[in-house]
């Protein structure tokens, strides 16, 4: 068999036909609900493998031949992203399911307050950024056909007269037609294309098998892996990665990791086409394994090609030219189909993904703006319009790719073209990460950030690639615009010496992220942004309240019209019937609930994107509805009112507390005032009795001069005694008041309290003998060192013992004095066996001038100041004086003093 | 293993993969040796890759399963 261009083109067309059949069958099976294997995690994984395009199939070998291990970065980056699927991809998938996200532009627009402006920006930028990538595929297909055509004498066949550009144009046109037939047959409720996914999965298997077949063949004829490396080393090829791991390595790793998230087609297959979150689990290892299998033979093929192919042959085409050179035409044809597979799958999916973005974010909004409310298309208008818009955008996208190919056709390597696209779409990454993890990122900042990143990309990455075809660009590259050196595209701000790719990646992403962060910090979010940010951030913490809903009084008819135009008659009828069934009312009486409107909005968003769905529904639902901004404002005001009332409540609680304190102080004042009055009257009373006696007797002495001397003496004695009593009373009052005000000079010093107690007992002993009673000594402490004033302590003890003697009415009166040391406290107890003190009097016994009833009746009553003075004195020695209850009837007073040397008993 | 610990290990595993594939760690394998006739750096990178795939396969089973999102509907 001789391979000719005609043959490979015929094969390619046949292959496309096969794809079409697979897609058709896939769609039909899905509609029947029979194609469960199409929803298996492995088909999902294979569809993600659309990441491996002809860049991988042909270009990776080229990169390996030119820069060794560097080609691996393109696969290690995505491997890392998938290994860490739990942290980013899982969130993306969950959010997209919840919000019916249809594309990457939809995702960002939805997060940033359903901003149409952001969606338009992302769409336009994605279309521009992908152009080089499409060009890469066109170039790969064209080069592979050329390689086969050039391999034999009559190889060109009917291609005679076609140059490379014409061929590429033909390929682009064919691809456009094919993609239109393939991807735009219908608008799904959710943008899932099961037929296309089936075809893509099939292609993934084909390209992997083809590449491995070539790899095994090369290893076989090369004599094994080790021989290939040894041969390559012998002819002087650097098989050790001596210069590989530099800044460029890191930049490419970052780029490829970003690309597998941000590329529109990767977002489409990984996130939008995902029918079950758990498929991501399998993909997390199966997709890296797929890429690993794709890369195993890359290095051997490259090295073998470099070693044995003639100098000057294009390393990008080694996969094809090595079998050709060995006369293996069938293998070469298979390799061609593999490469063709990888290119077509990329072109199909990328242009479907981009066309969805263009129609949802550019065409539909324009249409909505042109038509006012009611006249949204006619009949199936919206759907037909959407489909036509998609078809048109597919054509546009492919010809943008062709345009780029045309202008850069003189550059030879595939991979650098792909990296330009990667750098372009990587500009979405900061915004995506912010939307997943940062609540305060704002729409205005996101728009500015993406725009800045993109301008830098245009300047330092895309524009330099035209240098070979435009002398103007070459001049700007060398000298900067108008000779401004610091604006040179590959040495911005004077940063030269970096690899151009690293330079572009660094500046674009750095400025992008900086603008996003600073802009968000400086600007405010709209209400809707606020709500959406919360929804995105809390996607795994579901709450039943969904604030971002429209409320209003749209009739079911209005809503149905909108739904039918976008979703199609059947789907709309289904939706409304279900709602009517749930509400339990007939169709005609259906009152759309906010929940239903929200559901409808989500359904619409699945077809035309969040921003457009929102605008479309607001047109119908407006009327007397409350806008979200108003709701937020009301909430704000309510919040303020609540805060204000809380403030008031706090103040009033404080006031209440203050008033209570005042009340308390007032009560105390009144009590003290009363005590003062009582004290005064008692003092007057106490003073009055002796004064009366003195006055009476002195008057008798004055009035009756003839009084006998005996009487005179008696009267004089009485006057003298009463004067003494008066003086002693006044002394006591002065003493007490001085003690209470702390005016007395006072010196506590270390002394043995037992000595003082003995002394007091001795003093009282005489008094006891007088009263014919005994002082019984109970158990005593041996030695008790306290800090006290000896005279004052003695005064207290004498007072207590003498009281016990004086007021004892028992038949055999007796006083017991005992003392002990306990827990660092010295305790003296004085107990009598008298009648004791009533419970009612116990409280008052320490009040001034208070004398118990039985005491008052006794003739030898004191002023009633002894106990108050004693208590005051003991308090000054940091001790206490109290009346304690005992088993016996009599009274028992206890003096407790802290010991200066606790435990010192010896 | 505890749910949080599994998630923590998954995070560490991803970060480890990241650290191992960029300088300076990767520089360790830049010496001019051969393993079964294949350069050391190549063996290391593919070895790391296989390790990541195996680890990811383990984590895909070990990581907790959430209840599916309410918003997920299978396409008709």
A538 φ, ψ to 5°?
-105, 35
CATH number at residue A882: 3.30.565.10
**Nearest CA of chain B to the CA of A229: how many Å?**
7
Residue of B nearest to A83 (CA): B56
Residue A216 has pLDDT above 90, yes or no: yes
Contact A402, A169 (CB under 8 A): yes
Contact A512, A427 (CB under 8 A): yes
CATH number at residue A676: 1.10.287.130
Give the pairing of strands A774-777 and A814-822. Answer: parallel
Residue A527 lies inside a defined structural domain of this protein: no
Average pLDDT over residues A640-645: 80
| Higher-scoring residue by pLDDT: A184, A81 | A81
Task: Rank A446-455, A642-651, A703-712, B58-67 by mean pLDDT and report only the highest.
Answer: A446-455
Which residue bears the tokens 């809380």? A646
Residue B35 lies inside a defined structural domain of this protein: yes
Q: Which of A97, A124, A130, A119 is nearest to A446 (CA)?
A: A119
Of the three residues A591, A625, A659, the one that is the final residue of a domain is A625
Task: Rank A21-30, A411-420, A500-509 by mean pLDDT and report only the highest.
Answer: A500-509
Contact A88, B15 (CB under 8 A): no
Q: Which helix (H) or strand (E) holds B38?
A: strand B38-39
Residues 6+ apart with CB under 8 A from A489: A459, A460, A463, A464, A476, A477
DSSP string for A714-763: HHHHHHHHHHHHHHHHHHHHHHHHHHHHT-S----EEEEHHHHHHHHHHH
Residue A737 is part of which domain span? Answer: 630-741
In this prediction, residue A614 carries a pLDDT of 75
Contact A265, A349 (CB under 8 A): yes
- How many structural domains does chain A have? 5
In this prediction, residue A853 carries a pLDDT of 59
Q: Does residue A375 share a domain with residue A299?
A: yes
Q: Does residue A515 share a domain with residue A578?
A: no
Residue A182 has pLDDT above 80, yes or no: no
In this prediction, residue B42 carries a pLDDT of 85
CA distance A618 to A305: 62
- How many structural domains does chain B have? 1
User: For A100, left (φ over 0), alpha (ψ -120 to 50), or beta?
Assistant: left
Which chain B residues are closer than 8 Å to A293 by Cβ? Answer: none
Which chain A residues are closer than 8 Å to B64 by Cβ? Answer: none
The β-bridge partners of A818 are A829
In this prediction, residue A852 carries a pLDDT of 63
Contact A266, A426 (CB under 8 A): no
CA distance A800 to A816: 11
When mean pLDDT is compared across A190-204, A491-505, A753-767, the lowest value belongs to A190-204
Residue of A nearest to B58 (CA): A285
In this prediction, residue A155 carries a pLDDT of 56
Contact A469, A410 (CB under 8 A): yes
Q: Does residue A601 share a domain with residue A454?
A: no
In this prediction, residue A708 carries a pLDDT of 83
Residue A387 has pLDDT above 90, yes or no: no
Helices and strands (DSSP H and E) totals, chain A: 36, 7
Q: Does residue A781 share a domain with residue A857?
A: yes
Residue B72 lies inside a defined structural domain of this protein: no
Q: Does residue A650 share a domain with residue A757?
A: no
In this prediction, residue A855 carries a pLDDT of 54
Which residue bears the tokens 């004191």? A862
Residue A586 has pLDDT above 90, yes or no: no
Beta carbons of A76 and B49 less than 8 Å apart: yes
In this prediction, residue A844 carries a pLDDT of 75
Residue B48 lies inside a defined structural domain of this protein: yes
Residue B12 lies inside a defined structural domain of this protein: yes
Residue A253, helix vs strand vs coil: helix
Residue B29 is part of which domain span? Answer: 3-62
CB neighbour class for A323 (10 Å; exposed up to 12, middle 13-18, buried from 19): buried
CA distance A748 to A900: 11
Strands (E), A318-436: none
Beta carbons of B21 and A87 less than 8 Å apart: no
CA distance A611 to A99: 11
Residue B28 lies inside a defined structural domain of this protein: yes
**Nearest CA of chain A to the CA of B43: how many Å?**
11
- Angle, helices A610-621 vs A594-608, to 10°: value is 140
CA distance A276 to A540: 16
Residue A688 has pLDDT above 80, yes or no: yes
- Per-residue pLDDT band for A658 (boundaries 50, 70, 90) equals very high
Q: Does residue A453 share a domain with residue A359?
A: no
pLDDT single digits (tens) B4-36: 888 889 899 999 999 988 888 877 777 777 778
- Per-residue pLDDT band for A548 (boundaries 50, 70, 90) equals very low
Q: Is the peptide bond before A218 cis (omega within 30 degrees of 0)?
A: no
Q: Does residue A680 share a domain with residue A802?
A: no
Which chain B residues are closer than 8 Å to A242 by Cβ? Answer: 30
Beta carbons of A240 and B17 less than 8 Å apart: no
pTM of the predicted structure, to 2 decimals: 0.66
In a mutational test of the B interface, the residue from A33, A80, A578 whose CB has the highest number of chain B CBs within 10 Å is A80
DSSP string for A863-903: -S-HHHHHHHHHHHTT-EEEEE--SSSS-EEEEEEEBSSTT
Task: Output the average pLDDT for chain A.
Answer: 82
Residue A721 has pLDDT above 50, yes or no: yes
**Nearest CA of chain B to the CA of A87: how many Å?**
8
Name the residue among B27, B37, B56 with its Cβ closest to that of A226.
Answer: B37
Of the three residues A399, A415, A431, the one that is the final residue of a domain is A415
When mean pLDDT is compared across A284-288, A567-571, A666-670, the lowest value belongs to A567-571
Of the three residues A604, A625, A646, the one that is the final residue of a domain is A625
Residue A529 lies inside a defined structural domain of this protein: no
Residue A502, helix vs strand vs coil: helix
pLDDT single digits (tens) A247-277: 888 999 999 999 999 999 999 889 988 888 8
Task: Rank A107-116, A183-192, A744-753 by mean pLDDT and report only the highest.
Answer: A107-116
Q: Does residue A646 share a domain with residue A727?
A: yes
Residue A333 lies inside a defined structural domain of this protein: yes
When mean pLDDT is compared across A322-331, A404-413, A613-622, A862-871, the lowest value belongs to A613-622
Which chain B residues are closer than 8 Å to A244 by Cβ? Answer: 41
Contact A210, A338 (CB under 8 A): yes
Which residue bears the tokens 């089936």? A198
CA distance A865 to A767: 20
Residues listed for chain B: 76
CB < 8 Å from A in window 2-41 of B: 7, 10-11, 13-14, 17-18, 21-23, 26-27, 30-32, 34, 36-41
Which chain A residues are closer than 8 Å to B41 by Cβ? Answer: 69, 240-241, 244
Q: Does residue A158 share a domain with residue A42?
A: yes
Dihedral sign, CA of B28, B33, B39, B44?
negative
Contact A844, A859 (CB under 8 A): no
When mean pLDDT is compared across A92-106, A499-513, B26-40, the lowest value belongs to B26-40
| Percent of all residues in chain A with a pLDDT value above 70, rounded to a whole number | 89
Beta carbons of A80 and B18 less than 8 Å apart: yes
CA distance A382 to A377: 6
What's the token pair of residue A717? 């004695």
Residue A854 has pLDDT above 70, yes or no: no
Average pLDDT over residues A789-809: 84
Contact A358, A319 (CB under 8 A): no
Q: Does residue A820 share a domain with residue A735?
A: no
Beta carbons of B75 and A86 less than 8 Å apart: no
Q: Which of the 8 DSSP states describes residue A440?
A: T
Q: Does residue A404 share a domain with residue A364?
A: yes
- Per-residue pLDDT band for B57 (boundaries 50, 70, 90) equals very high
Residue A594 lies inside a defined structural domain of this protein: yes
Average pLDDT over residues A214-218: 92
A196 φ, ψ to 5°?
-60, -45
CB neighbour class for A815 (10 Å; exposed up to 12, middle 13-18, buried from 19): buried
Residue A377 has pLDDT above 50, yes or no: no
Residue A498 lies inside a defined structural domain of this protein: yes
In this prediction, residue A159 carries a pLDDT of 63
Average pLDDT over residues A612-618: 73
| Higher-scoring residue by pLDDT: A262, A683 | A262
CA distance A550 to A881: 79
CB neighbour class for A236 (10 Å; exposed up to 12, middle 13-18, buried from 19): exposed
Q: Does residue A499 share a domain with residue A367?
A: no
């Amino acid at each position: 068999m001789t391979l000719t261009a005609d043959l490979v083109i015929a094969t390619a067309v046949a292959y496309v036909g096969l794809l079409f059949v697979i897609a058709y069958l896939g769609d039909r099976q899905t509609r029947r609900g029979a194609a469960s294997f199409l929803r298996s995690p492995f088909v999902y994984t294979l569809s993600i493998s659309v990441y491996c395009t002809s860049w991988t199939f042909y270009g990776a070998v080229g990169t390996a031949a030119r820069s060794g291990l560097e080609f691996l970065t393109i696969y290690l980056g995505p491997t890392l992203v998938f290994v860490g699927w739990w942290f980013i991809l899982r969130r993306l998938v969950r959010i997209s399911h919840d919000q019916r996200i249809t594309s990457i532009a939809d995702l960002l627009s939805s997060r940033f307050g359903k901003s149409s402006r952001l969606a338009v920006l992302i769409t336009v930028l994605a279309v521009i950024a992908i152009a080089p990538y499409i060009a890469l595929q066109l170039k790969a297909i064209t080069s592979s056909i050329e390689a086969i055509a050039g391999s034999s004498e009559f190889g060109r066949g009917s291609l005679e007269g076609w140059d490379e550009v014409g061929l590429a144009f033909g390929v682009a046109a064919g691809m456009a037609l094919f993609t239109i037939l393939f991807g735009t047959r219908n608008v799904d409720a959710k943008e899932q294309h099961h037929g296309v996914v089936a075809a893509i999965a099939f292609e993934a298997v084909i390209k992997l098998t083809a590449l491995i077949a070539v790899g095994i063949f090369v290893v076989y004829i090369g004599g094994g892996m080790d021989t290939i490396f040894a041969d390559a080393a012998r002819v002087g090829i650097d098989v050790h990665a001596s210069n590989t791991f530099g800044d460029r390595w890191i930049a490419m790793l970052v780029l490829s990791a970003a690309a597998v998230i941000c590329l529109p087609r990767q977002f489409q297959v990984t996130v939008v086409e995902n029918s079950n979150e758990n498929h991501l689990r399998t993909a997390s290892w199966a997709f890296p394994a797929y890429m690993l299998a794709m890369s195993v033979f890359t290095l051997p093929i490259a090295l073998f090609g470099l070693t044995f192919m003639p100098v000057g042959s294009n390393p990008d085409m080694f996969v094809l030219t090595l079998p050709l050179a060995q006369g293996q035409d069938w293998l070469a044809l298979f390799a061609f189909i593999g490469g063709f597979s990888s290119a077509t799958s990329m072109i199909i999916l990328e242009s479907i993904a981009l066309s969805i973005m263009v129609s949802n974010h550019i065409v539909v909004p324009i249409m909505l703006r042109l038509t006012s409310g009611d006249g949204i298309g006619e009949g199936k208008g919206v759907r037909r319009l959407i489909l036509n818009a998609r078809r048109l955008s597919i054509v546009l996208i492919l010809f943008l790719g062709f345009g780029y190919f045309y202008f850069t056709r003189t550059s030879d390597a595939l991979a650098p073209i792909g990296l330009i696209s990667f750098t372009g779409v990587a500009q979405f990454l900061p915004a995506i990460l912010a939307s997943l993890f940062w609540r305060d990122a704002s729409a205005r900042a996101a728009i500015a950030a993406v725009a800045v990143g993109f301008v830098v990309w245009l300047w330092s990455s895309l524009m330099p690639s035209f240098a070979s075809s435009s002398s103007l660009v070459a001049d700007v590259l060398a000298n900067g615009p108008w000779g401004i050196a610091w604006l040179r595209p590959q040495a911005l701000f004077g940063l030269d010496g970096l690899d151009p790719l690293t330079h572009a990646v660094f500046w674009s992403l750095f400025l992008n992220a900086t603008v996003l962060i600073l802009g968000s910090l400086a600007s405010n979010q709209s209400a809707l942004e606020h709500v959406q940010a919360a929804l995105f951030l809390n996607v795994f913490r579901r709450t039943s309240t969904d604030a971002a809903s429209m409320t209003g009084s749209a009739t079911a008819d209005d809503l149905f019209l909108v739904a039918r135009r976008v979703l199609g008659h059947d789907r709309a009828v289904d939706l409304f019937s279900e709602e009517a069934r749930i509400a339990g009312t007939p169709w005609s009486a259906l009152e759309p609930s906010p929940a239903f409107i929200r559901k409808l909005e989500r359904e619409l968003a699945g077809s035309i994107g969040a921003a457009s769905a929102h605008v479309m529904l607001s047109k119908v639902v407006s009327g007397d509805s409350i806008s979200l901004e108003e709701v937020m404002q009301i909430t704000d005001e309510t919040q303020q009112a609540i805060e204000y009332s809380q403030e008031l409540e706090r103040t009033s609680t404080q006031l209440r507390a203050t008033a209570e304190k005042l009340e308390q102080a007032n009560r105390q004042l009144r009590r003290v005032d009363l005590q003062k009055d009582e004290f005064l009257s008692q003092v007057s009373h106490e003073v009055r009795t002796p004064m009366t006696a003195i006055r009476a007797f002195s008057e008798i002495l004055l009035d009756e001069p003839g009084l006998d001397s005996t009487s005179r003496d008696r009267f004089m004695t009485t006057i003298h005694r009463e004067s003494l009593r008066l003086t002693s009373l006044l002394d006591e009052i002065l003493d007490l008041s001085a003690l209470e005000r702390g005016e007395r000079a006072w010196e506590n010093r270390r002394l043995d309290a037992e000595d003082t107690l003995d002394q007091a007992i001795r003093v009282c002993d005489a008094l006891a003998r007088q009263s014919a009673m005994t002082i019984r000594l109970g158990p005593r402490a041996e030695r008790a060192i306290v800090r006290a004033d000896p005279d004052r302590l003695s005064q207290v003890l004498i007072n207590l013992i003498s009281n016990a003697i004086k007021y004892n009415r028992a038949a055999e009166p007796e006083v017991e004095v005992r003392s002990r040391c306990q827990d660092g406290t010295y305790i003296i107890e004085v107990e009598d066996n008298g009648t004791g003190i009533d419970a009612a009097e116990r409280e008052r016994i320490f009040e001034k001038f208070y004398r118990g009833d039985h005491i008052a009746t006794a003739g030898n009553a004191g002023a009633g100041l002894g106990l108050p003075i004693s208590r005051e004195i003991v308090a000054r020695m940091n001790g206490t004086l109290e009346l304690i209850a005992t088993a016996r009837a009599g009274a028992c007073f206890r003096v407790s003093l802290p010991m200066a040397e606790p435990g010192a008993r010896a | 293993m505890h749910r949080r610990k599994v998630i923590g290990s998954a995070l560490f595993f991803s970060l480890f993969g990241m650290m191992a594939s960029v300088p300076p760690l990767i520089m360790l394998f830049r010496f001019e040796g051969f393993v079964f006739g294949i350069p050391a750096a190549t063996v290391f990178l593919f070895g790391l890759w296989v390790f990541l795939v195996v680890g990811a396969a383990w984590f895909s089973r070990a990581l907790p399963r959430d209840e599916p999102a309410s918003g997920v509907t299978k396409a008709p």
